[in-house]
Amino acid sequence: MRISVFHPGAMGSQLAAQLVAAGHEVRWVPDGRSQASVERAEAAGLIGTTFADAIATADAVLCSCAPQGAVDVARLVGEAGFAGIYIEANPLSPKSLQAAQDALPDATFVDAGVVGPPPTGGPSPTHLMLSGPAAAAAADLWAETAVTPMVVGDAVGAASAAKSAYALYNKGKAALAVLAFQLAEKHGVTDALTAQQVRADAASLKDPGLPDALRSVAWRWGPEFDELGETLDAAGLEGDAARALRKVWSRLDE
């Protein structure tokens, strides 16, 4: 199958690499992308082409980018008249997900969410949550690869909900750990904090350099928490909790 990917970041490039390993022809659009993106795409075995060609020749499109760019990508692809399978693999709120789906009236829309690290064959699995009428067809694209597809529902929104629930737990825990280290540092008691790593529930306290280590992803995790806040609001839950934690990523990004 011919698949186009927008845009091959750290996760998207590895999802695309697994598609190449499964025997698919995978294209991307290098115009306007960084040298780092070019190197990732080349390493993944992707074929560079124009945007028009990427849409005209694709049976499926995979969108895996930062959440703040997802709806814009959907609009561009929709305006080009794409009518194949569109796999929306970004952490989006119900409102943003609906906007992306509305922008693709001719496409078969698949809701997707990635849980786990980029699929490189390591010990931690990469689960690709999928939902929607064509979720099973999308799952088949990654058959026998390092990606583990999981069809979690028939309705668009189920996969995003599953991804959001885990992201809220996992990245929310990371945000709290960042705050804990910053507080301990202010009072000169970082060693006392890291000493608690012996406890079964304190794995996040092993690395006092965690705030600096997460600085490189703060620009992306912040907008993800914006989406999480809206997702919680839509479910009648405490969206302000996610918006408060979003400030941790804003501060790191500064």
**33 and 150 inside one domain:** yes
**67 and 14 inside one domain:** yes
Token pair in block for residue 165? 């629930």
* pLDDT at 120 (0 to 100): 87
Could you please report the per-residue DSSP string of 75-123? HHHHHTT--SEEEE-S---HHHHHHHHHT-TTSEEEEEEEESS--SS-S
pLDDT digits (tens, 9 = 90+) for 229-242: 999 999 999 999 99
**178 and 149 inside one domain:** no
Token pair in block for residue 45? 């075995």
Q: Residue 116's closest CA among 15, 8, 251?
A: 15
**239 and 187 inside one domain:** yes
**118 and 181 inside one domain:** no
Q: Quote the CA–CA distance of 135 and 64 in Å, as a whole number.
A: 16
Q: Number of structural domains, the chain?
A: 2
Which one of 100, 128, 154 terminates a domain? 154
CATH number at residue 129: 3.40.50.720
Q: Read off the pLDDT of each residue in 49-66 and give the average, rounded to a whole number.
A: 97
pLDDT digits (tens, 9 = 90+) for 7-37: 999 999 999 999 999 999 999 999 999 999 9
Q: Read off the pLDDT of each residue in 84-100 and give the average, rounded to a whole number.
A: 97
Mean pLDDT of the chain: 96
- Token pair 């099973």: residue: 136
Token pair in block for residue 143? 């058959």
Which one of 154, 175, 209 terminates a domain? 154
pLDDT higher than threshold 90 for residue 122? no
**107 and 20 inside one domain:** yes
Structural domain containing residue 130: 2-154
Q: Quote the CA–CA distance of 86 and 53 in Å, as a whole number.
A: 16
Cβ contacts of residue 197 below 8 Å, gap of 6+? 203, 205, 206
User: In what side-by-side order are the strands of the sheet with 2-6?
Assistant: 47-48, 25-28, 2-6, 60-63, 85-88, 108-115, 126-131, 147-153
**98 and 221 inside one domain:** no
**102 and 188 inside one domain:** no
Token pair in block for residue 50? 């124009």
Element (H, E) at 153: strand 147-153
Token pair in block for residue 92? 């989006």
Q: Quote the CA–CA distance of 140 and 138 in Å, as a whole number.
A: 5
Band the pLDDT of 121: cuts 50, 70, 90.
confident
**174 and 124 inside one domain:** no
**97 and 10 inside one domain:** yes
Which one of 154, 175, 204 terminates a domain? 154
Backbone angles phi, psi at 27, to 5 degrees: -115, 160
Token pair in block for residue 210? 């965690």
The pTM assigned to this predicted structure is: 0.94
**32 and 126 inside one domain:** yes
pLDDT digits (tens, 9 = 90+) for 182-221: 999 999 999 999 999 999 989 889 999 999 999 999 999 9
Band the pLDDT of 55: cuts 50, 70, 90.
very high
**148 and 183 inside one domain:** no
Band the pLDDT of 114: cuts 50, 70, 90.
very high
